[in-house]
Amino acid sequence: MARSPISRLLFCLCLLISSQLMAQDDKNVVVAGPAWEDLLEADGSGMYWDLLHKVFTAQGYQVTHSEMPWTRAESMVQGGRADAIMGEYNVASTKDKYHFGTWPVDHDEITVLSMKSAKHEWHEEQTFAGKPVAWVRGYNLAVRLPVEVKLTEVNDVETGIKMLQSNRIEFLLDYEWDIDAALENLKADPEPFERHKLARIEPLYVGFAPTDKGKALAEAWDKKMAELHASGELDKLFQEYEYDAYPKP
C-alpha cells in the first residue's frame, strides 16, 4: 500500500532526527550525501564504503550513511547535524566550513558534455568561457574553473541533459558515471553528444563537521590513512575498483 504524503514526511523526519542523534555520539560517524554508483552505494558497497571501514570501523567507530541531496548534506555537516561529506574541495571558500584532513579521499575528473551539432572547438576551459553552462546544484565547480560562465544549477543530471537537447545550455559539467547513468535513465541515444574530460584534476577530501568531534575525526582519518598508504592497502583498494592510482597529498 502506498504511503500518504504525511507518512512519507514523518518517515523522512525520523531518518533526519536519527542521523542527528547519531552524530552526537562520539563513536558514530554519520556520512551525509547522495548515493554514488561504485563509490557509496545505498546497499553499503563501493570504494568509499570500503575506505571508510578501513579507516573508521578499524578504529572502533560505527559508520552510517544518511542519503540526501548534496546541498542538504552540506548544510547538515556544516551545522554539525552529520559528521562528514565525501568529495569536497579543500579551497579558500570551504576552509572555514569544515575540518579537513591532509589525505584526500579521491580526485575529480570532470566530463564536459555538449551536443555534436554545436561543433565546438575544444580548448579546455576556454571552450565554455562566457557560455551557458550547467552543473548539479551545490557542486560548486566554479572554485576549480579559471573562467567565468553563465551558470544554471540543476537538480539532477537528467535535467541538464534535457536542457542540452533543447539548446537551453551549451555545456553540462559532471562526472562520467553520473552522465552515463542519466543517459540510461532517460533512454537517450548517446551518439548526438560529445564528451571531453578536463585535463586539470583536483583532489577531493572528506569534509568533516566544524565541531570538536569533526576535528577528532579528521585527525583519526589522517592517522589511519598514513598507515594504509605505508602498507600499500590504499593503492590496492584503488586498483581493485579499477581507479587511477591513489592521489597522494
Reported as a single tens digit per residue, the pLDDT across 34-86 is: 998 889 999 999 999 999 999 999 999 999 999 999 999 999 999 999 999 99
| Per-residue confidence (pLDDT) for residue 19, from 0 to 100 | 44
Separation CA 214–CA 98 (nearest Å) = 8
User: Cβ of 151: how many Cβ atoms within 10 Å?
Assistant: 14
CATH of region 110-197: 3.40.190.10
Domain locations along the chain? 12-107+203-240, 110-197
Is pLDDT of 16 > 90?
no
Separation CA 73–CA 2 (nearest Å) = 27
pTM over 0.85: no
| Per-residue confidence (pLDDT) for residue 242, from 0 to 100 | 85
Architecture of the 12-107+203-240 domain: 3-Layer(aba) Sandwich (3.40)
Q: Matching CATH topology for 12-107+203-240 and 110-197?
A: yes
- Give per-residue pLDDT as tens, 129-171: 999 999 998 888 988 899 999 999 999 999 999 999 999 999 9
| Per-residue confidence (pLDDT) for residue 177, from 0 to 100 | 85
| Per-residue confidence (pLDDT) for residue 24, from 0 to 100 | 54
